Structure 1
Amino acid sequence: MTATVQPELDGSIPAPKIPAARRRAEDYETWIAEVWDVFLEVAATGRTFTCYEVARNRDLADPPDPAHHWGRLMTLLKDEGYVRTAGWACSDRPSSHHSGVRTWKGTAAARAGRAAA
Structure 2
Amino acid sequence: MPTIQPALDGTVPEQTKARRRAEDYETWLAQVWPKYIAAAATGRTFTCFEVADEHKLPEPPDSAHHWGRLMTLLRDEGFIRTAGWACSSRPTVNHSGVRTWRGTAAARRQQAAA
TM-score by length of 2: 0.86
The structure with more helix, counted as a fraction of residues: 2
Q: Tell me how far 1:47 sits from its aligned partner.
A: 0.3
| Residues 7-29 of structure 1: per-residue CA shift (max 9 Å, x gap) | x7xxxx85663233111111100
Which residue in the other structure is 1:63 paired with? 60
Instruction: List alignment gaps of at least 5 residues for structure 2.
Output: none
Q: Distance in 1 between matches of 2:94 and 2:42?
A: 28
Residue among 3, 19, 31 paired with 2:28: 31
Structure with greater Cα Rg? 1
Q: Distance in 2 between matches of 1:82 and 1:55?
A: 17
Q: Tell me how far 1:5 sits from its aligned partner.
A: 5.5
| CA root-mean-square deviation | 2.2
1:102 to 1:14, Cα distance in 2 relative to 1, 3 A: same
Counterparts of residues 1-117 of structure 1 (less than 5 Å): 17-113=14-110
Structure 1 runs, 4 residues or longer, greater than 3 Å off: 2-6, 13-16
Q: Tell me how far 1:72 sits from its aligned partner.
A: 0.2
Query: Percent same amino acid among aligned pairs?
Result: 64
Number of residue equivalences: 109
Instruction: List alignment gaps of at least 5 residues for structure 1.
Output: none
1:14 to 1:24, Cα distance in 2 relative to 1, 3 A: same
